[in-house]
Amino acid sequence: MGHAVQVTHQSGPRGKDDFRSERLRLRSWRVADAAFHRRLWEERDGRVPARRRITADGHPTLAELQEWLRAYEPTPPPGLFVVEQVETGVATGYCGLVENSVGRPEEPELAFEFLQEFWGRGFATEASRLIVDRAATMGYEYLASTVREWNTASLHVLSKLGFTDTGERERDVEHGDSLLLRLRL
C-alpha cells in the first residue's frame, strides 16, 4: 500500500527544513519533546543494549532528555526529526540521519524509531522515504543503516526503500548481531 510522498519544505527552528508527505510532517526536535522521547526509550525491546533503555534507577530522566534536546545539533545534516501525523499533530516517532557508527563516515546512517501504537501503518517507510529523498538532493551518494538481525520490521522497511545487506555483521551474542545495509542514491 503506497502513500503519496510529496515533499514541501518549511523553515523550522535552527534554520532546518520541515518535510511533509500526505500524512506526515517531519519537524525539528523541541525541548518539549522530552516526554515523547522518553516514551520511546521505555518501549524499547529488551534485546536492545542496556545503554539504549531506561535504567533501573530511571535514567535518562526527563530533565536529562530535555538537556540532550537543548544541545542537539543535526550531524550529519539534515539530522533527526520528530514525525507527526499531519491531521492530528500527534508525534508518532522520529526519523533522520545520524553519524555512521560502523561503515564509511561519508555515508550517514538512516535511523528511525516509532511508538508501538503506530507500528504497521507505513509511517516508518513514508518518513524514511522523505529523508532518503532529501539526502539525495543534498548530494549524498550512499546511505547506510544498521539493524539487529531480529528486527524484521525495520529490515522490511529498509528493503522497501531499496537498502541491501552488505554481508557485514557486528557479532553480538547477547543482543543479536547487527547487520549493515546500504543504499545507493
Query: What ranges do the domains of the chain cover?
Result: 9-141
* Residues ≥6 apart with Cβ < 8 Å to 133: 5, 7
pLDDT of residue 123: 97
Q: Higher-confidence residue: 112 or 18?
A: 112
pLDDT of residue 10: 38
Instruction: Find the DSSP H helices in 44-103.
Output: 62-71
Residue 14: is its pLDDT beyond 60? no
Q: Which CATH superfamily is domain 9-141 in?
A: Gcn5-related N-acetyltransferase (GNAT) (3.40.630.30)
Element at 174 (helix H, strand E): none
- pLDDT-derived band of residue 94, with 50, 70 and 90 as boundaries? very high
- Centre a 10 Å sphere on the Cβ of residue 43 and count the other Cβ atoms it contains: 14
Which amino acid would we find at residue 124?
Answer: A
pLDDT of residue 74: 85
Supply the angle between the helices 62-71 and 34-43 in degrees, to the nearest 10.
120
In this structure, of 3-7, 16-20, 87-91, 135-139, the range with the lowest mean pLDDT score is 3-7
d(CA 170, CA 138) in angstroms, rounded, equals: 29
d(CA 109, CA 101) in angstroms, rounded, equals: 8
Task: Enter the C-alpha cell of residue 172.
Answer: 553480538
| Phi–psi pair at 69, nearest 5 degrees | -65, -35
- Centre a 10 Å sphere on the Cβ of residue 10 and count the other Cβ atoms it contains: 11
- pTM for the full predicted model: 0.85
pLDDT of residue 86: 95
- pLDDT-derived band of residue 17, with 50, 70 and 90 as boundaries? low
Which amino acid would we find at residue 88?
Answer: T
Nearest-5° Cα angle at 147, 141 to 151: 140
Burial of 149 from C-beta contacts in 10 A (0-12 / 13-18 / 19+): middle
Residue 92, classed as helix, strand or coil, is strand
| Mean of per-residue pLDDT scores for the chain | 87
- pLDDT-derived band of residue 170, with 50, 70 and 90 as boundaries? confident
Instruction: Quote the percentage of the chain above a pLDDT of 90.
Output: 65
